[in-house]
Amino acid sequence: MAQTTSDLRVLLLENIHPDAATLLSSRGFSVETYDGALDGDELVKRLDGVQVLGIRSTTQLTAAVFEQAPDLLAVGAFCIGTNQIDLPAATERGIAAFNAPFSNTRSVVELALAEIIALTRRLTDKSSGMHAGVWDKSAVGSHEIRGRALGIVGYGNIGSQLSVIGEALGMSVYFYDPVDKLALGNARRCASLDELLSVADVVTLHVDGRPGNRDLFGEREFALMRPGSIFLNLSRGFVVDHDALRTHIESGHIAGAAVDVFPNEPKRRGEPFSSVLRGLPNVILTPHVGGSTEEAQQDIGRFVAAKLLHYVVDGTTSLSVNLPALALPEQASTHRLAHVHRNIPGVLATINGLLAEHGVNIEGQYLGTRGEVGYVITDFGASAPPSVLERLAGMPETIRLRSLS
**How many helices (DSSP H) and strands (DSSP E) are in the chain?**
13, 16
Write the pLDDT tens digit of every residue in 178-202: 999 999 999 999 999 999 999 999 9
Integer Cα distance of 220 and 136 in angstroms: 35
Domain ranges of the chain: 1-104+293-322, 105-285, 324-405
**Fold match between 1-104+293-322 and 105-285?**
yes
Architecture of the CATH domain 105-285: 3-Layer(aba) Sandwich (3.40)
Residue 41 exposure: Cα atoms within 13 Å on the Cβ side = 0
Task: State yes or no: pLDDT of 1 exceeds 50.
Answer: no
Residue of 56, 148, 236, 336 marked catalytic: 236
The rounded percent of the chain whose pLDDT value lies above 90 is 86
- Could you tell me the pLDDT band of residue 6, with boundaries at 50, 70 and 90? low
Residue of 110, 195, 265, 363 marked catalytic: 265
Q: What is the mean pLDDT of the chain?
A: 94
Give the per-residue pLDDT at 383: 76
Integer Cα distance of 303 and 79 in angstroms: 10
Give 331's DSSP letter: P
Write the pLDDT tens digit of every residue in 18-27: 999 999 999 9
What's the whole-number mean pLDDT along residues 88-112? 95
Integer Cα distance of 401 and 63 in angstroms: 20
288 is catalytic: yes
Residue of 106, 248, 288, 339 marked catalytic: 288
Class of the CATH domain delimited by 324-405:
alpha beta
Integer Cα distance of 332 and 313 in angstroms: 12
Give 237's DSSP letter: G
CATH of domain 1-104+293-322: 3.40.50.720
Write the pLDDT tens digit of every residue in 284-338: 999 999 999 999 999 999 999 999 999 999 999 999 999 999 988 776 667 899 9
Give the per-residue pLDDT at 46: 96
Write the pLDDT tens digit of every residue in 325-380: 998 877 666 789 999 999 999 999 999 999 999 888 898 999 999 999 999 999 98
Q: Which of 198, 206, 176 is nearest to 188 (CA)?
A: 176
Task: State yes or no: pLDDT of 2 exceeds 60.
Answer: no
Q: Please give the model's pTM, rounded to 2 decimal places.
A: 0.83
Give the per-residue pLDDT at 285: 98
Give the per-residue pLDDT at 294: 93
Which has the higher per-residue pLDDT, 286 or 384? 286
Query: In sequence order, what are the residues at sequence separation of 6 or more whose Cβ sits closer than 8 angstroms to the Cβ of residue 218?
Result: 240, 241, 244
